[in-house]
Structure formats: C-alpha cells, structure tokens
Amino acid sequence: YQRRVRGSEGNRSMQRIVVAHGYTAYPEKHWFPWLKSTMEQHGIEVIIPQLPNADAPVKSEWVAALAEALGPPDERTLLIGHSLGCVTALHLLGSMVGDWRLAGLVLVAGFHEPLENIPELDEFTAGFDVDPGPLAESLPFRCAIYSDNDVRVAQQKSVRMAEWLGAEQELVAGAGHFCQANGLTEFPQLLHILQKAGLLPVPSS
C-alpha cells in the first residue's frame, strides 16, 4: 500500500517526468541527461522519447510518439516540453477527452504561433485551435520558462503562449534557447521552480 501514499513527508511529489524535446534534438542533448540523472537521485523516473525524424518533424508523428511515451495521464506525472516539444505537448493534451489530470506542464522556450525565422515548423502552429480552458482544469501547475536573449523563439512568443495558457512565467536571463549551444547542459532553475511548486522535495539545510 505504500505506493498509494502521496509523496514523502506530506509532499505532493512526482513519480514520473516525460520530456518532449525540440526540433533537431534527441534525448542525450542539452540539459536532458542532467535532468534524468538528477531526478533519478530523487527516485523519479524520467522518460525522454526520441521523437521521429527530428530534423524533418511531422506533427501527427510527434504527437503520437509523445502520447505513447506519456501513456494514461495521472496526477504524479509531469510533462515538460522544450521548444517544438511545447506545442507538440499542447496538441496532445488538447486532444485528450474525459476527466484527466497531470501533476503539471512546464514549457521551456515554448510557442504556439508561427515562427517567422523557422517556417519549416509552420505545420505545428497552422490553425492552432487548442482550447486552454480544459487544460487549466487538468493541469494544476502550469509554468512557462523563457529567456531574454532567445534568437530561435522570441521572448514575446513565449510570453503570449504563457498568457494564453494562464501559466506562471519564469524568466531566466541570458539562457538563450536553453540549448547545449548556449552552454546550458544543466538547468538548476528548473529544480527551484519544481520545489517552489511543491512537486519536488526541498533539500533540508
């Protein structure tokens, strides 16, 4: 019966994190290996599926692959998207029917509008018609993280996405597109955000 206990020390901790990577990315890139290693130290499973044809992504294929990795949603699972993984996650969650709930959704350098500088991704945003209302009911924690010098996804794109979703907003100055190329292979700010939300235990001093 221990599995039914909601977290340790009364914390509504997570048991599982599913990460949707972005365009041209893969599970061993950016801060994903660090996140997996760090969370496993907390006893949290981290699943980072390789979304198909990352260099020439197709929306239906990405949504299907992410759905398979996520499985039935539950209150102990957090979904994290990075860049194109964010709008993929929104399409998936927007397609869910019935009563479902996740621990939350974290969108890093996310967008739901076309990116003028990357038109090859327009299929993911064309006719975007996800209703944010049901998402808000099913996602008690919603957070958008962005930087002030992202040259791939402009800050205002992420801000508009956050406002559309009714998500908390966290600015990480100087983080670029939260990529390996920006020197970002660790993401401690993400841990702080999850601790503040009560999803991750705060280390005792």
Render pLDDT for 139-163 as a digit per residue (tens, 0 to 9): 999 999 999 999 999 999 999 999 9
CA angle 73/75/81 to nearest 5° reads: 65
Average pLDDT over residues 3-24: 68
At 7, is the pLDDT very low, low, confident or very high (cuts 50, 70, 90)?
very low
Contact, 173 vs 161, CB < 8 A?
no
Band of residue 12 on the pLDDT scale cut at 50, 70, 90: low
Instruction: Give the pLDDT confidence score for residue 205 in this predicted structure.
Output: 57
Q: What percent of the chain has pLDDT over 70?
A: 93
Least confident among 14-23, 50-59, 70-79, 194-203: 194-203
> Tokens 């709008």 label which residue?
87
Q: Name residue 31's amino acid.
A: W
C-alpha pair distances (Å), 120 with each of 56, 62, 165:
8, 15, 24
The answer to whether 146 and 181 have CB atoms below 8 angstroms apart is no
In a 10 Å sphere around its CB, with 0-12 CB exposed, 13-18 middle and 19+ buried, how is residue 82 labelled? buried
**Residue 11, pLDDT above cutoff 50:** no
Model confidence at 14, in pLDDT bands (50, 70, 90)? confident
The yes-or-no verdict on residue 202 having pLDDT over 50 is yes
Say if CB 111 and CB 179 are below 8 A apart.
no
pLDDT of 174 > 50? The answer is: yes
The sign one gets for the Cα dihedral 82, 86, 92, 98 is positive
